[in-house]
Amino acid sequence: MNRRYEDMLDDGMERDMELADALASLDPASHDPNYWLRFRSWVMRSAARELAHRRLMTQLTIGDVVQSWARALVPTAVLTAVVAGLMLIHGGTLAPPRPISVEEMLMRGIDREALPTTLPADPSPDVVTFASEGF
């Protein structure tokens, strides 16, 4: 049975007008003509916020997103850079001696005091200590 024929059958043969009339009394608009208008208005009023949110989400561009990130990201980055700079300036003099290999020491010498006068009780196994012990 094709669809068109089914629809014709649906519309013509089986419409029970008496029952349809009785059921029509269940339609709220049968005793309140503006009912569906009010129904729709209520739904639309309640949905206004969600719809506005969706509009906003659609309108946001990549630039907007980057801009919103930048608001938090830039001050944080500046602050981090300042702190790092200060640490470099103040921490520069406290830098540990550069490790030096035996060959390098023999070829170029040592800038600072390389041979400790007394070895520490627990000598650390770095290259300078090894070299001093070797000599």
Partner 1 sequence: MPSTRSFPTVSINRSEPLSDSELVRRAKKGEEVAFGLLVERYQRPAYAVALSVTGRHEDAQDAAQESFLVALDRLEECRSPEKFGGWLMTIVRNRSKNLVRRESLREMEEVPPGARSRVPTPERVAETSELRALLKEALMDLPEVQREIVLLHDLEGWKHREIADRLDLPCGTVRSHLHFARKALRDALRRLATEPEMLRAAR
Q: CB of residue 111 vs partner 1: minimum separation in angstroms?
A: 58
**How many CB atoms within 10 Å of residue 128?**
22
Indicate the residue among 4 and 108 with the shorter CB distance to partner 1. Answer: 4
Pairwise CA distance, residues 10 & 121, whole Å: 104
Q: Does 111 bind partner 1 (CB under 8 A)?
A: no
Q: Which stretch binds partner 1 (CB under 8 A): 58-66, 89-97, 111-119, 122-130?
A: 58-66
Q: How far is CA 83 from CA 75, 86, 104, in A?
A: 12, 5, 35
User: Residue 12: what residue type?
Assistant: G
Per DSSP, the three-state class of 14 is coil
Among residue numbers 5 through 44, which ones bind partner 1 (CB under 8 A)? 6-7, 10-11, 14-16, 19-20, 22-28, 31, 36, 39-40, 42-44
Q: How far apart are CA 5 and CA 114, in angstroms?
A: 105
Question: What whole-number distance in Å separates Cα of residue 87 and Cα of residue 84?
Answer: 5
Q: Of 2, 12, 33, 58, which lies in the binding site for partner 1, with binding defined by CB under 8 A? A: 58
| Residues that bind partner 1 in the complex, under the rule CB under 8 A | 3, 6-7, 10-11, 14-16, 19-20, 22-28, 31, 36, 39-40, 42-44, 46-48, 50-60, 64
